[in-house]
Amino acid sequence: MLFQVQMDVRLPHDMPATQADALKKTERERAQELQRNGKWRHLWRVAGRYANVSVFDVQSADELHQILSTLPLFPFMQIEVAALCRHPSSIHDDDR
């Protein structure tokens, strides 16, 4: 199943820079691991915001929730999820 996920990150303004940097580093490592194993298929930054729009390829909404909740920045995110389906007018044979 494909899901579009928009993540807006809202770190507390009083969070020490060293803590924020450490969180961002572990977040990057986790995101890259999920991309390498095919779960996090696409990742785009939203210009002008600390946010991204992503496409996940998972077996279920439960698996997506489990993955999202393992992200180090999860406690500081506002997340919106939309299930995706193939459009009948798409000219592509696959979802990649």
- Per-residue pLDDT 10s for the chain (96 aa) are 999 999 999 999 999 999 999 999 999 999 999 999 999 999 999 999 999 999 999 999 999 999 999 999 999 999 999 999 888 898 887 765
Residue 95 within a domain: no
Residue 27 within a domain: yes
Residue 92 within a domain: no
Amino acid in position 41: R
pTM here is 0.90
Residue 94 within a domain: no
- CATH code, domain with 30: 3.30.70.1060
Domain extent, residue 59, equals: 2-84
Residue 76 within a domain: yes
* Number of domains within the chain: 1
- pLDDT for the residue numbered 93: 75
Residue 8 within a domain: yes
- Secondary structure of the chain in HEC code, one letter for each residue: CEEEEEEEECCCCCCCHHHHHHHHHHHHHHHHHHHHCCCEEEEEECCCCCEEEEEEECCCHHHHHHHHHCCCCHHHEEEEEEEECCCCCCCCCCCC
C-alpha–C-alpha distance, residues 33 and 27, integer Å:
10
C-alpha–C-alpha distance, residues 8 and 38, integer Å:
22
- pLDDT for the residue numbered 96: 58
- pLDDT for the residue numbered 95: 63
